[in-house]
Amino acid sequence: MLRAVSVLALVLLSACGTMAKWHQSQQAQQAASAHRQQTEEAAAINSESKQDRAAKLQRAQHDERLRRLQAELAARADADSLAASALFARELAEPATATPLDLAARAVAAAPQRADLVMLELQLCETAPGCDTAPLEVRLSQLDPDNGMPRAYALLRADHANLNAPWRAARAALSQSQRITLYWNTLVSHLTGAAAGRQGFDTVAAMVEVIGVEAAMISPLQPVSRACSEQDVQDSAVLAQCRRIAAAFMKADTVLFEAYGSTLAIRLWPEGSAESQQITAQRRGLRYRMDQMGRFAAKFNSPAATRALAGYVQHYPTEQTALRALFADLGMAPEPPANWVDNTPGG
C-alpha cells in the first residue's frame, strides 16, 4: 500500500512537474507570440509611417511644382495660360496667389468671344462665396444662345434662393435649350496645351491635372432633378418642359451630362414608346462604353492611352466622340455587341 502511495505520489509529482513545465511553455509561447505581434505591429506602423512620409513628400513636391507652374502661367498674357493658372489657383487655394476669379476674368478679357472661358469663369464664380453668377449667365447666353448651361445655373440660383416664380421661369427657360455644352474638350485641350512642357508637367501630367480640377467643380444637376420631380411632371406643361430639358442633356458634350439626360428622359416617356426605345438604345451604347472603361481601367488609364486621348480631345468636339476614337485606337469596339448585357444597377 505504501509502495502504491509512493508510486502515486511520484506520478502526481511528475504530473505536476509536467503541468508546470507545460504552463511555463505555454506562457513562453504566448509571450513569444505577443512579442512577435508587437514587433510586427511596430514594423507595420513604421512601414505605414514611411509610406505616409513618402506620400506627403511626393504631394509636397507636386504642390511646389504646381505652385511654380501656376505662377509662371499667371505671368503670361495669353488667355489659355491665364485660364489654366486660374484653374490651378483654385486647386492650390493659397491666399498669396491671385484669386482664381481674377485670373479667369483676365483670361476672358484677353479673348472676350470665347464662350469656353466665360463658362470657366462661371464655374469658378459658383464655387466662390458671395460671387453673383447672373452677369456671367447673361454673357454666356449672348455668346452661345443654344447652350442651356447658363439657364441651368439660373435654375441653381433660384433653387438656392427658394423663390418659386424665378425657379419656374428658369425651368421654362432651360426647356428652350438645344443642348448642354460645358466646352469640355475645348477647355481640356487648350489648358493642357498651355501647361504642358512647363515645370516638369508633360502632356499626360498636365491633362490629368486639368481634368482633375475641372471635374471637381459643381455641376448644377440636382436642381434639374427637383424641377422635374415625379410630382411636378404630373402637370402636362411641366412634363413637356422636362422632356425638352432631358433631350438637351442627351445632346451634351460630356459623358456625365449625357448619362444624366438619358436617366431623366427614360422616366418621362411611356415604356415601349418610340421615344423610350430610342433613349434606351442611346443609353445602351453609353453604358457599354462606361462598363468597358471600368473593366479595363488599367488599359484606358495608361500613359499611352492618356496621350492618345489628349490628341483626340484636340480634334473632336465632344468627350464622347474622343472616347469612341480612343476605343478604336485601343482595338476595342466602341459600340456594344448584340450579346452584351447591361448589368448597370437600377436598370
- Average pLDDT taken over every residue of the chain: 85
CA 243/CA 312 separation, integer angstroms: 32
**How much is the pLDDT for 25?**
45
91 is a domain residue: yes
Taking 80 as the threshold, does the pLDDT of residue 11 lie above it? no
Taking 50 as the threshold, does the pLDDT of residue 7 lie above it? no
pTM: 0.81
Taking 80 as the threshold, does the pLDDT of residue 218 lie above it? no
Taking 70 as the threshold, does the pLDDT of residue 330 lie above it? yes
What is the DSSP code string of 245-283?
Answer: HHHHHHT-SSHHHHHHHHHHHHTTS-TTSHHHHHHHHHH
268 is a domain residue: yes
**How much is the pLDDT for 87?**
95
199 is a domain residue: yes
For helices 303-315 and 319-329, what crossing angle results, to 10°? 130
Nearest partner of 327 among 338, 312, 343, 341, judged by Cα = 312
pLDDT band at 179 (very low <50, low <70, confident <90, very high): very high
Q: Copy the grid coordinates of residue 250.
A: 442627351
6 is a domain residue: no
Question: Backbone phi, then psi, for 164, in 5-degree steps?
Answer: -65, -45
5 is a domain residue: no
145 is a domain residue: yes
- From the DSSP assignment, how many helices (H) and strands (E) are in the chain? 16, 0
What is the DSSP code string of 78-116?
Answer: SHHHHHHHHHHHHHH--TTSPPHHHHHHHHHHHSTT-HH
8 is a domain residue: no
Taking 60 as the threshold, does the pLDDT of residue 156 lie above it? yes
Taking 70 as the threshold, does the pLDDT of residue 197 lie above it? yes
Per-residue buried b or exposed e for 27-49, using 16+ beta carbons within 10 Å of the residue's own CB: eeeeeeeeeeeeeeeeeeeeeee
**How much is the pLDDT for 60?**
83
**How much is the pLDDT for 22?**
35
167 is a domain residue: yes
Lowest model confidence (mean pLDDT) among 27-41, 175-189, 230-244, 291-305:
27-41
Query: Structural domain of residue 136, as residue ranges?
Result: 76-329
**How much is the pLDDT for 32?**
46
Taking 90 as the threshold, does the pLDDT of residue 315 lie above it? yes
**How much is the pLDDT for 41?**
53
pLDDT band at 343 (very low <50, low <70, confident <90, very high): confident
Taking 90 as the threshold, does the pLDDT of residue 48 lie above it? no
Taking 60 as the threshold, does the pLDDT of residue 10 lie above it? no
Tell me the pLDDT tens digit for each residue of 265-281.
999 999 999 999 999 99
Please state the domain count of the chain.
Answer: 1
Question: Mean of the pLDDT values across residues 56-76?
Answer: 90
